[in-house]
Amino acid sequence: MKKKLCLLLCAVLCLFPLGACQGEDLAEGALPQPPGLTVTCGEESVTAALGSFQWEYPQEDGTTVAVVSDAVHPLDREGDLPELAGGSQATLSWDGPAPETVVLCCWPEDAWGDTDREAVEVPVDGDSFPLLAGLHIYEVRAEWPEGQATGSGDASYAFTARGEEGETDVQGPPSLTLVQGEERTEAYRNFLYWEEDGVCVNRTLSAPSGWEVPQLEGGVPVTLEWEREPEEIRLERWPQGVPDEEAQGEDLPWEGSLTPEAGWVYVFYADWEVQDGWGGTGVYAFGAEE
C-alpha cells in the first residue's frame, strides 16, 4: 500500500506545476534520479543499494519533475545488500555531483530485522571513513541543495562491510573524572572508534548493563572533569545487571550535571572531531548504588 501511495504521489506531482512525467526531454546534464554511490576499500568496491529518495530535476522546457520513491529499511534487506570485503578504511565516490551533506551510520550484524535498533554514527572525513570490526550494515544519507542543474533532493543508500578484526594499540580517548562532593572517581573508559597518528581502531561494545564500572552514590549530584573537553556529549542510562538480550537503554538530556539514581549504569558518548590524525568517539560509564 505504501508503494502504491508513493507512485500515486509521484503521478500527482508530475501532472501539476512541477512538470510533466512523459513527453519531455531532460535538461542538459540533468539526472532523473540521485547519483549512484560506489564504496571502495583497497582494490575492492561495491555499488551501494539506492533506498528511499526524493528528487527533482529540470526538463528542457524549464519545468521540473519531482520523483518520490520509498524503500524498505536497510535492516529488512538481509541477503539483498552488497558486501564490501574487509579492511580498516573505505571511501565514497559518486556517479555524478557529490552531495552537500553526507551522514553515515551503521548497525552490527545482530541487528538484522530490528528496525528499532539505534544506529551508531560513523565519522566521514572528506570521502573517507573507518570500517568497524566485523560485519556491519551501513546507511548513507545524502542531500543535494536546490538550484543544481543536475537535480536536487535527498537519498539513502545501503551496503554491508566486514571490517578487519583485531586491533592496533592506541592510547584511546582522554580520561574523565567524576566529581561527587569531595570524592573524585575515574570513569570507565572505552571507545567506539578512535584514531591516533593515522591508526584507526573500531570496537563493537556489548550492552552497558553488564559492564564492570565504578559505583557512585545514588542521589548525589555528579559533575565531570575532562582531561580534554569534547565537542559533543550524549548521555544514556541502562539498568544494571540485565542480560544483553533484555537490556534497553534510554536517552537522557545532558545539562552539565547529573543526579544518578541507584540501579542504573550511566553512559556518556563524547565526540572529538578527527584532526591531525587524532579523534573519535569515547565511551565513559559509571553505576549508582544506594
Q: Any idea what the Cα angle at residue 108 is, between residues 40 and 70, rounded to 5°?
A: 75
Range of 87's domain?
2-163
Q: Tell me, yes or no, whether 12 and 154 share the same domain.
A: yes
Whole-angstrom CA distances from 39 to 84, 130, 139, 157, 158 are 8, 12, 12, 11, 10
pLDDT in tens, 180-218: 999 999 999 998 888 887 677 777 788 999 999 999 999
pLDDT of residue 23: 42
User: Both 146 and 81 in a single domain?
Assistant: yes
The answer on 192 and 109 residing in a single domain is: no
Residue range 162-185: average pLDDT?
Answer: 84
Kindly state whether residues 113 and 10 are assigned to the same domain: yes
Task: Say if residue 135 is in the same domain as residue 91.
Answer: yes
Yes or no: say if 171 and 272 are a contact pair by the CB < 8 Å rule.
no
| Helix or strand (DSSP H, E) at 49 | strand 49-58
Radius of gyration of the CA atoms of the chain, in A: 23
Buried b / exposed e over 261-287, threshold 16 CB at 10 Å, is eeebbbbbbbbbebeeebbbbbbbbbb
Which of residues 6 and 134 earns the better pLDDT score?
A: 134
Looking at the chain, the whole-number percentage of residues with pLDDT higher than 70 is 89
Question: Residue 7: what pLDDT?
Answer: 39
- Do 215 and 286 form a contact (C-beta atoms < 8 A)? yes
Q: Do residue 145 and residue 200 come from a single domain?
A: no
pTM of the model: 0.58
Is residue 89, in this structure, part of any structural domain at all?
A: yes
Number of domains in the chain: 2
Mean pLDDT over 212-228 rounds to: 96
Residues 23 and 83 grouped into a single domain: yes
